[in-house]
Structure 1
Amino acid sequence: MTNAPELQAGVSSTALVVGMARAAESRRPDRLFEDHLADRFLEAAGVEQQAVWNKGQGELFAEAMGDYFALRTRYFDDYFRQAAAAGCRQVVLLAAGLDTRAHRLDWPDGTRLFELDQPDVLAFKESALGDEAPRCRREVIAADLREEWTTVLAERGFRPDQPTAWLVEGVLVYLTEHDADGLLSRISALSAPGSHLAVEHVTRSMVNSDQAQQAAAASPEGVVNLLSSLWKNEMTRPVGDWLAGHGWSSTQESLTDLAQRHGRPVPPAFDPALPGTGRVSLLTAVR
């Protein structure tokens, strides 16, 4: 697979590091999930694109993140299983990246799944997937979440009168508070009673930790400096209150509890027992 489009530098390229983490997790005998397509994305990216994340400070970044991406993936996998069991047959992945849940989860009959992301991410992804068949009806939509995307979603068959399972994973930290609130407003306006929502909530202050600042200062051209330059969300409102203000009743699980439940160490970057670490919030909600 040598002619796949390249992922653009910036937020789009961060999808690759998540794909790398999912590939590594899938090779573990005690894996929390199996993503049989992750290696296909790495092959399509090629050595040069992977090298940005694989060398130097990228290795330190991977060590600091530990099992975080694996734990996050499993958390949201379980969320979708619960939402499906509750009757949701409409699924929307916002900033879907290299997510392969359409291809690897067992969806009930009649499920329709929509993936939204930037055009370059989707072009790379579709090239790498080739003729791989999803396990549900899958719609792929090029969209910028900072702009209007609900019209094209409706044009592709989305039904606002049906309960929907939404996923906002790996995106909020890259949006301003204004854009994040606009995104949640659009989600809420399209969510019928009985809809579900899962959120990875991260703000700049939550991840711009002492460790991150020291790493960025030590290597201005490194991975951490690249990521920190993209962090925009300055929200200070408690995430539960933010969701409640838009009509959602939420439940949060601490990363420490999640790691313990799956028999994994707490990721060093977010371990409250270590000094100068960051924080992250994983939540599910119902409407």
Structure 2
Amino acid sequence: MAETPRASRTAVLVCQGRAAAHGLVAPDRFSDPTALALLRADEREAVVWVRDGRAPKEWRTRVAFETVKAITELMVPRSVAIDDAVRARLGQQVVILGAGLDGRAWRMPELAGVEVFEVDQPASQQDKRSRAAVLSGRPPTYVPVDFRTDDLSRTLAAAGHLGDRPTTWIWEGVVPYLTPAEVEATVAAVAACSARGSRLVVNFQLPVPFLKLGSLVGRALSRSAGQTSVFTREPWRSTWTPSAMADLLARHDFTVTTDQNVLDVAESLPVPIWHRRSLAQSQVQVADRG
């Protein structure tokens, strides 16, 4: 029997974090009214616990609560950094790479008159389209792509993307799951269809000591709660220093104009900070062409 297409566990977790934060955490800077609507009923339970500040006593549900609480802390500053960069230099087209359950096409009024393309794995995107049917407003153009095998520029062009017009690219939460070679191939494909005036906003993870140990601990906690860790099916395959990413972008004619650590962004916002080390592992670079 064929497996029902579903968004990745990471995509669901990110959406849960945004839903938990909406209207409660830094509401003047962060808002995502689409997130809760994009979740299935069983995925909303942990969101309600976090929003209510009600930690379950039973271990299995407590692990789910703590996981969503931690991702909520990350989602607000990361989203703020990326959204600000998009607003500051909005191209005639926006492409969201590895969109998952992203709601920007609906939630950002600045994108109302812009052609938005969402690129993602076919199975994940099929599930996203089903979930997004409840949202009002103009949907994005969905572009199913396997980043490891498909020609991104050719597939985008077939979907209506115009390579001779400026594009704002959003690449959030995807880079760690690609090998260095796959990251470079994607940057090359982005460059191939980026006119002058284009902007690439890329989020990546920094190299940190004991990364494998943290992954093992996460898996052990998930197993103890009878759950499958996100690291099992979706392991990290690459980390980057800011200089290494900037060098890669420069080789493809993108100049880094903003380089922000997510912890620094969090410290500039009225948000609680519990996991400083985790926030400090995440980086957002903004790179412009021409």
TM class, shorter-chain normalised? 0.7 to 0.9
Contact kept, 8 Å, 1:94 with 1:167, in 2: the verdict is yes
Partner of 1:230 in structure 2? 234
Structure 1 residue 245 displacement after superposition: 2.0
Deviates more, 1:205-214 or 1:113-122: 205-214
Q: Residues of 1 paired with 2:153 and 2:209: CA distance?
A: 29
Choose from 160, 164, 181 the match for 1:161: 164
- Out of 260, 275, 284, the position equivalent to 1:253 is 260
Contact 2:115/2:140 (<8 A) preserved: yes
Superposed displacement of residue 18, structure 1: 1.1
- 8 Å contact from structure 2 (residues 32, 107) kept in 1: yes
| Paired residues for 1:265-284 under 5 Å | 265-266=272-273, 268=275, 270=277, 279-284=281-286
TM-score, normalised to structure 1's length? Answer: 0.81
Q: Residues 157-212 of structure 1: CA distance to partner in whole angstroms, max 9, x if unpaired?
A: 11111111001111111111111111111001111111101011126757826544
Alignment equivalent of 1:81, drawn from 84, 87, 91: 87
Q: How has the CA–CA distance of structure 1 residues 263 and 131 changed in structure 2, closer, same or farther, with 3 Å as cutoff?
A: closer
Is 1:262 equivalent to 2:269 in the alignment?
yes
Structure 1 pair 50–171 and aligned structure 2 pair: CA distance change class (3 A): farther
Counterpart AA for 1:252: D
1:178 and 1:233 map into 2 onto residues whose CA distance is 10
User: CA contact under 8 A between 1:203 and 1:232: conserved in structure 2?
Assistant: no
C-alpha distance 49-80 of structure 1, shift in aligned 2 (>3 A): same
SS across alignment from 1:281: strand
* Cα distance in 2 for residues equivalent to 1:281 and 1:178: 19
Q: Give, as a single letter, the amino acid of the residue that structure 2 aligns with 1:119.
A: P
What is the aligned partner in structure 2 of residue 57 from structure 1? 63
Q: Which residue of 2 aligns with 1:111?
A: 114
CA-atom RMSD in angstroms: 3.0
Structure 1 residues 206 and 239 mapped into 2: Cα distance closer, same or farther (>3 Å)?
farther
Q: 1:74 to 1:29 in 2, by over 3 A?
A: closer
Identity level (%):
27
TM-score of the superposed pair, with normalisation by structure 2: 0.80
**What is the number of equivalent residue pairs in this alignment?**
268
Kindly provide the amino acid, as one letter, of the partner of residue 234 in structure 1.
S
- Contact persistence 2:14–2:71 (CA under 8 A): no
Task: Answer yes or no: is 1:94 the counterpart of 2:113.
Answer: no
Superimposed CA distance per residue, residues 36-76 of structure 1 (whole angstroms, 9 cap, x where no aligned partner): 2211122xx2317977xx83433333344451112111211
Q: Does 1:21 align with 2:8?
A: no
Does 2:41 match 1:46? yes
Distance 1:48 1:29, change over 3 A: closer
Q: Do the aligned residues in 2 keep the contact of 1:26 with 1:36 (CA within 8 Å)?
A: yes
Structure 2: gaps (5+ residues): 47-59
Q: Secondary structure at the match of 2:140?
A: strand
Cα distance change of structure 1 residues 216 and 38 upon mapping to structure 2, 3 Å threshold: same
CA distance 1:56–1:231, shift in 2 (3 Å): same
Aligned-pair distance for 1:133?
3.8
For residues 266 and 252 of structure 1, do their structure 2 counterparts lie closer, same or farther at Cα, with a shift above 3 Å needed? Answer: farther
The answer to whether 1:37 aligns with 2:34 is yes
Distance 2:180 2:154 in 1: 23
Q: In 2, distance between residues paired with 1:63 and 1:232?
A: 21
The residue type paired with residue 38 of structure 1 is: A
Q: Secondary structure of 1:140's match? A: strand
Is this contact kept in 1: 2:18–2:72, CA < 8 A?
no
- Work out the CA distance in 2 between the residues paired with 1:264 and 1:16: 22
Name structure 1 gaps, 5 residues minimum.
273-277
User: Is 2:188 the counterpart of 1:189?
Assistant: no
Report what 1:242 is aligned to.
Answer: 248
- The CA deviation at 1:232 is 3.9
Which residue identity does 1:187 align to in structure 2? V
